[in-house]
Amino acid sequence: MKGLPEARNFLTSGRTETASNNVATQVASSTPLPTQLAGTSVKVRNSAGVERFAPLFFVSPTQINYQLPPGTGAGLATITVTNASGNSFVEQGIIFTTNPGLFTAGASGAGLASAVVLRVKAGGAQSFEPVARFDSAQNKFVAAPIDLGPATDQVFLILFGTGIRNHSASLPVTAQIGGVNAPVSFAGAQGELVGLDQVNVQLPRSLSGRGEVDIVLTVDLQTANTVRAAFQ
């Protein structure tokens, strides 16, 4: 799919706030994603003047989550939001081919990564492990420290985000974890969930015992939001 970020969060404001009061809250329950939820639709007109309906993830009185339509392409785009009452709001924005963003456990864009650990044993057996867990006493996500295990284990951090899949073949996707260069073995579409991208990073053994560290991902010379993980 072209034209990223693929998942866009649109917050209504100003004169559309009153019009949006008639919008119900509705979540897409099937794929392909619908182009109308709760009577609301989003149209995206690209720089060539081609207009397409955007697939919708979620609609509420104050927020719309949508996917930029496949084929939108880079450049100036005009986004038109129309609610069930027929009221519309128009905005313009620049669409970039890549615009990397990583998801976080707390959905704030900062802190612990929304990620999993893939462990590959010497015999080829694979297992997945969490990077964060929800602590009900603190009412927040806390780190689940990564154990790199014996030297015969290969351990990968699988990060999830958006705006990554269309990266240039001539520019490598790079990752630094705690200031250590970490090899990226895959960066592209996750393949099962709409709009979701995935980055697989092999974890250097020098990270063992480092505690909580920053993860810095760079795609086409653009740095994503910094996220974190912990190592025991």
7-95 and 101-231 agree in CATH topology: yes
Q: What is the pLDDT of residue 21?
A: 56
Span 7-95 CATH architecture: Sandwich (2.60)
Q: Where are the domains of the chain?
A: 7-95, 101-231
Contact 117, 128 (CB under 8 A): yes
pTM (predicted TM-score)? 0.86
Q: Which residues of 65-76 are buried (b: 16+ CB within 10 A; e: fewer)?
A: bbbbbeebebee
Three-state SS at 115: strand
For residue 211, what are the CA distances in angstroms to 133, 143, 147, 224?
16, 10, 11, 22
What is the arithmetic mean of pLDDT over 4-33? 56
Tens-place pLDDT, residues 108-157: 999 999 999 999 999 999 999 999 999 999 999 999 999 999 999 999 99
Is 101-231 assigned to CATH 2.60.40? yes
How many CB atoms sit inside 10 A of residue 161's CB? Answer: 28
Split at pLDDT 50, 70, 90, the class of 18 is: very low
| Percent of all residues in the chain with a pLDDT value above 90, rounded to a whole number | 89
Split at pLDDT 50, 70, 90, the class of 7 is: very low
